[in-house]
Amino acid sequence: TTASFPQQGDRGFPSAAAAPAGRAPPRPRPAAAMQFMLLFSRQGKLRLQKWYVPLSDKEKKKITRELVQTVLARKPKMCSFLEWRDLKIVYKRYASLYFCCAIEDQDNELITLEIIHRYVELLDKYFGSVCELDIIFNFEKAYFILDEFLLGGEVQETSKKNVLKAIEQADLLQEEAETPRSVLEEIGLT
């Protein structure tokens, strides 16, 4: 007896007719494509916002106000997921800050919770036990860490070590640029 391997068109391989001529097969969906992320305090003060979908400032303010009120009104023992408009809201409270993300209905809430947790871990590593004041007074670093971690609402780098290394390198470049140099050093004579 001879072994028969699946040929194109058999059940084991997709047929050439599976994708329309001239079109690439559909791109697989990411595990969680975030629409936006909000950080706000227990008092409802917005501390950080990152939008991955184009919206007017008026719409952003309306969404922010509505979500802050909704999340703050929920009891601590309630589920961290809620359906809102045509999105799912995933939130988690760490100390005095709420981290709130909006994802599409078919996206995975648990992955989004992990993304929130990973961001908090990155902030903790960088600031050494992050607190609300760190976010207030170093908001540009909080945004930079988020941008190194997420790109377009999707995880770009899963390694905490790599994210922190990129931030450390950027800090060194910034320190180097801020260090005063003599005129001779500027023109390369020393």
Cβ contacts of residue 109 below 8 Å, gap of 6+? 80, 81, 88, 90, 103
pTM reported for the whole predicted model: 0.75
Q: Give residue 22's pLDDT band: very low, low, confident or very high (50, 70, 90).
A: low
Whether pLDDT at 25 is above 80: no
Q: Which fold has domain 34-178?
A: Beta-Lactamase (3.30.450)
Spatial separation of the C-alpha atoms in residues 92 and 133, rounded to whole Å: 18
Kindly report the number of other CB atoms within 10 A of residue 116's CB atom: 22
Q: How far apart are CA 41 and CA 69, in angstroms?
A: 11
pLDDT at 27 over 60: no
Q: Where are the domains of the chain?
A: 34-178
Task: Report the distance separating Cα 47 and Cα 135, nearest Å.
Answer: 7
CA angle 98, 100, 101 (to 5 degrees): 165
Residue 18 corresponds to which tokens in the numbers above?
């599976």
What's the maximum distance between 2 C-alpha atoms anywhere in the chain? 85
Whether residue 8 is predicted with pLDDT greater than 60 in this model: the reply is: no
Q: Under 8 Å CB-to-CB from 133, ≥6 apart: which residues? A: none
Whether residue 190 is predicted with pLDDT greater than 80 in this model: the reply is: no
The per-residue pLDDT for range 149-179, each reduced to its tens digit, is 998 889 988 888 998 898 889 888 888 887 7
* 114: helix, strand or coil: helix
